[in-house]
Structure 1
Amino acid sequence: MSVPENTTRLGHLLGPHGVQGGVKVYVLGDSEQVLALKRVWVENRGWLKVRRSEPLAPGVVLHLTGVITREGAEALRGAQLYAADADLPPLEEGSYYYHELRGLPVFDAGSTRLGEVTDVLDMGHQDVLAVTYAGGEGFLPLQAPYVVIRAGEGGRPAAVDLTEDAPAGLLEADGEDE
């Protein structure tokens, strides 16, 4: 069962909480956003309705339809958790979800278009942008002061700009002479 299109990874399931099917979630990002969801997509299970959610620092506990025992929650341990992009609650101006970066153009410090963001990857301590460009595919650290997300209409992301502080050669073909 593959992950549906237009979904964003929220985190993964850690295991049971209590004896009535609650499952702890390791949340990537803001736990408050997960608490607002009415349904989630669970790896190898599909879409499940959220019966109830509760904060549990540093993540949340979800009570999902069809998961009513500790053993049922244990069976979900390690599963990835996703939400439909359209189901995510709106953010305040100037904030953005990672899925909003997909498809954005990437420009160098001189405003030359380099490529396009295809995905945002959680690499542990550092998130990276997967970018397609003339030389193939490359990765950019999603980190200030190297990368700035340019806001457009309504404060939504419009482009990704590399700054003058970005290391040279981030999006060059392997073996290309400088």
Structure 2
Amino acid sequence: MQLVVGRIGRAHGIRGDVTVEVRTDEPELRLAPGAVLLTDPPSAGPLTVESGRVHSGRLLLRFAGVGDRNAAEALRNTVLIAEVDPAELPDDPDEYYDHQLVGLDVVLRDGTRVGEVSEVVHLPYQDLLSVTTGDGREVLVPFVERIVPEIDLEEQRAVIDPPPGLIDPDRAETAGSDAGQE
């Protein structure tokens, strides 16, 4: 199984360091020295992490064989991909790898089917589940416990409790007009 773990940003300094936009909850594991990463585009890699450090809140990595600023700049926008054993699970029981979530049936608390998780979108402050509904629409569901109270990997389903209008935009207008009435 492959996981996207980062994207290379601009070069930093003259010795081949690059900034990395981290896209994993486990950078200390996935982006550690010695880690071998596949790349997109494939022609850029594989890349082996030689060293890493945090500088001014940004992760800086140096890859084996990338010894100067020009070589580092040539890697800009390259996506970093880690190979992960599909049986491997995160240490925290409330965390999930993307491949565990993609394909799950999405249902409301009462069991009504909403659709299927098609992608996990990682944003700086919050992850979203991209759900393809039965009628083909894409709905972005914030992946927070209040809205997604249950992930059941054995049953292959995600139970959601969405606020009015998240799944059905028509409900938002009704809920909004009812809110002001006593």
Structure-1-length-normalised TM-score? 0.72
Q: Could you list the per-position Cα deviations for residues 29-83 of structure 1 after superposition, in whole angstroms to 9, with x for gaps in the alignment?
A: 3321323472223333343131423232545333324422221112223333232
Aligned to 2:144: 143
- C-alpha separation between the residues in 2 aligned to 1:117 and 1:21? 38
Size of the alignment, in residue pairs?
167
- C-alpha separation between the residues in 2 aligned to 1:128 and 1:152? 18
Structure 1 residue 16, shift from structure 2 partner: 2.7
- C-alpha separation between the residues in 2 aligned to 1:96 and 1:106? 16
Which of structures 1 and 2 has the bigger CA Rg?
2
Identity of aligned residues (%): 29
Runs of at least 4 residues off by over 6 Å: none
Larger CA deviation: 107-116 vs 81-90 = 81-90
Aligned to 1:54: 52
Structure 1 alignment gaps of length 5 or more? 1-5
Aligned to 2:116: 116
Question: In the alignment, is residue 31 of structure 1 matched against residue 32 of structure 2?
Answer: no
- C-alpha separation between the residues in 1 aligned to 2:164 and 2:69? 52
Structure 2 alignment gaps of length 5 or more? 175-182
Alignment equivalent of 2:9, drawn from 1, 10, 14? 14
Secondary structure, counterpart of 1:86 in structure 2: coil
Larger CA deviation: 8-17 vs 69-78 = 8-17
- C-alpha separation between the residues in 1 aligned to 2:26 and 2:92? 16
Q: What is the root-mean-square deviation in Å for CA atoms of aligned residues?
A: 3.3
Structure 1 residues 20 and 123: alpha-carbon distance in aligned structure 2, compared to 1, 3 A threshold: closer
Q: Could you list the per-position Cα deviations for residues 2-45 of structure 1 after superposition, in whole angstroms to 9, with x for gaps in the alignment?
A: xxxx5332232123344332322121333213234722233333
Aligned to 1:97: 97
Alignment equivalent of 2:39, drawn from 32, 39, 42? 42
Aligned to 2:79: 80
Structure 1 residues 54 and 90: alpha-carbon distance in aligned structure 2, compared to 1, 3 A threshold: farther
- C-alpha separation between the residues in 2 aligned to 1:115 and 1:33? 33
Aligned to 1:159: 157
Contact kept in structure 1, 2:90 and 2:96, CA below 8 Å: yes
Structure-2-length-normalised TM-score? 0.71
- C-alpha separation between the residues in 1 aligned to 2:30 and 2:160? 31
Q: Which has the higher helix share?
A: 2
